[in-house]
Amino acid sequence: MLNRPAYANETYLDFTRPEHADAQRSALAGVRAEFGRTYGIWIGGKQEAGAHGTFASVNPSATGEVIGHFAAASADQARRALAAAWDAFREWQYVPAETRAGIIFRAADIVRRRRMEINAWMISEAGKNYLEADADTCEGIDFLEYYAHEALRYDRGMKVIDSWGDLNRTHYIPIGAGVSISPWNFPFAITLGMAAAPIVAGNTVVAKPSPDTPMMAHLIREIFDEAGLPAGVFNLVTGDNLEVGETLTTDPATRFINFTGSLGVGLHIAEVAAKAGPDTRFLKRVVAELGGKNAVVVDADADLEAAATGIVQAAFGFQGQKCSAASRVVAHAAVYDRLLELVVAKTETLAIGDAKDNFAAGPVVNQKAVDKIMHYIGIGKTEGRLVTGGSREGTPADGHYIRPTVFADVAPDARIAQEEIFGPVTAFIKAKDLDDALRIANGTRFGLTGGFFSNNPAHVDRAMREFHVGNLYINRKNTGALVGAQPFGGFNLSGTDSKAGGADYLLCFLQAKSITERPVLAEPVLPGFRFTKS
C-alpha cells in the first residue's frame, strides 16, 4: 500500500527573499553552461537522430543564444514511435495502479529535487521570469501528485449494485496508445500533465512538444526515466508541427489525441479525428484545450484598486501569453475612466528586459509572435484609442520584446475585442450597466476564463449564473488555476471542457467495463419468472 500524504498544492517560492533569488541565479549559470548541446528523439526507450537533421531552440530574451539543437523527426519516425507505444501498452495496461502511481509519485519527488534547474531552463527557453517559471514547475508537480492519487481512486471502480442473484462490478480500463501535443506557453506543466494523466491511467503516449520549447520535454523524458517508467510508455518526437503532428493525428492507430493549442489547429484535429477509413477500429478520443478572449467585468461598486491590480497581472503576466489572459476589460461607465487610469499607471511600472534578470515583462516567444501581435496593434490603432505601449521602442534590441499595450474605447465587436492576440495587449470596453456588461462579456466565440469585480452580492450571484465561462473568478485575477482546486477548461470554442487538474480528467483516457458474474449453481432471481426443474 502506498504511503503518500494527502494531495495539496505545491507552494511557490518567494523570489524577493535573497536565498531563493540567489539559488535561481546559480541554477541559471549552471544551465547556461549546457547551452548548445544536441538532443535526439526517443522511441521505445532508445535515442535516435532526426531523419531531417536538427533545428535550433533559441532564447527569446537574447536570440543569439542557442538553447540546444533538437532532432527533426520524420513521418516514419512518428509512426514508429506510435508503434512502440502500442508495443509497451500490451504490458503497461496490466501493471497494477499502485505501481503506476508509485512511478508518478517518484517523478514528482524528482521534479522537487530539480526544481531550480527546471525553472532555469524554462526562464531561458520560454522567457518566463522567476515566479512565472516556478509556478509552471509547481503546477507540473501538482499534476503528477493529483493524477497519481486519482488513478488510485479510479482503480476502486464504479459503485454498482448486485441484481437478481448476479454479482456486478464495473471497473475502468485504459484505452490504448495516443498522442499528446503540447504548447510552448506552459512548456513544463502542460507537457507533463498531458502525458502523466494518460500514463498513470494505464495508457502509453507519444509526446510532441512545441518546436519553441523542446528542451522542457527532454527534461520530462529524463524525469520519467529516472522514476522507473518502462521503455516505450513515454515516447518523444520533436520536429515540424505539420509533418510530425499531422502524421500522428491522422494515423488510424492513434487511440486518443490530447491537444492544447490554437483554435484553428484544434478544429482541424477534431475534423481529421472524426474521419473513418477502412482501417478504423475505434473512435478517436479528442481532448482539446484551445483559446480564449477572456473578459474582466468591473462593476460600478467594485474595489477599483484590486480590480486594476488583477487586470494588470492577468493581462500582462508572461506577456499575455496565456489562454486565460485578460485580453478584454468590460468596465461599467461609472468607473470606466478611473479604472483605465489605474490600469495604465500600473502597466507603465512594468520593467521590460531579459528573463534571466527577472524583469516583470520579458519577451514574447518568437518573431512570428512579434509580427502577429504588432499586426493586431496596428488594427487596434484604427479600432480604439492607444493609451500606453503599442510599440517595441525602448526595449532590448536582441530579443522579442513588445511594450505592454492598453487600448481604450474599443467596440465590443472590434477585431481586437473578438480575436485572440496572445500577447501583451488588452482592450477596454465601456458598458452601460450590468446587463450590457454581461452581454459584452459573453459576446465572443470563446468561453474559457472570466473575471468579475463587484461588492454587490446580487450582482455577483448574477455573474455566477450568467457569465458563461469554464473558469470564473470573483474579485481576483482570472489566471493561475490551481490543480485540484480550480479544474481548468473552457466552453464553446475554448475546447472540450475536459477540466485538466479535476476529478473527471482521467476519464478522458479510461473506459468503463461492466462485468456480471453469476455464481456457479446459483439460481437466478428474475421478477415474475422461475425455471422449472425437469
CATH fold of the domain at 37-290+495-514:
Aldehyde Dehydrogenase; Chain A, domain 1 (3.40.605)
Stretch 150-167: mean pLDDT: 96
* Chain centroid offset of residue 230 CA: 25
The total number of residues shown for the chain amounts to 534
What would the pLDDT profile of 426-483 be if each residue is shown by its tens digit?
A: 999 999 999 999 999 999 999 999 999 999 999 999 999 999 999 999 999 999 999 9
**508: annotated active-site residue:** no
pLDDT band for 510, please (50, 70, 90 cuts).
very high
Q: Is position 138 annotated as part of the catalytic site? A: no
pLDDT in the model for residue 519: 87
Q: State the number of CA atoms in the 13 A half-sphere of 502 facing the CB.
A: 16
Domain 37-290+495-514 shares a fold with domain 294-474: no
Domain ranges of the chain: 37-290+495-514, 294-474
CA-to-CA distance for 407 and 137, rounded, in angstroms?
33
Mean pLDDT of 528-534: 48
**C-alpha cell belonging to residue 448:** 474559457
CATH (residue range 294-474): 3.40.309.10
pLDDT band at 247 (very low <50, low <70, confident <90, very high): very high
The residue annotated as part of the active site, out of 150, 323, 420, 508, is 323
Which of 315, 447, 285, 318 has its CA nearest to residue 388?
Answer: 315
Residues 452/440, Cβ–Cβ less than 8 Å: no
Angle between helices 97-113 and 130-154 (to 10 degrees): 170
pLDDT band for position 525 (50/70/90)?
A: low
Nearest-angstrom CA–CA distance, 427 and 311: 11
Average pLDDT of every residue of the chain:
96
Contact 177, 205 (CB under 8 A): yes
132, 289, 420, 508: which is the annotated catalytic residue?
289
| Residue 241: per-residue pLDDT | 86
Which stretch of DSSP H or E encloses residue 270?
A: helix 263-274
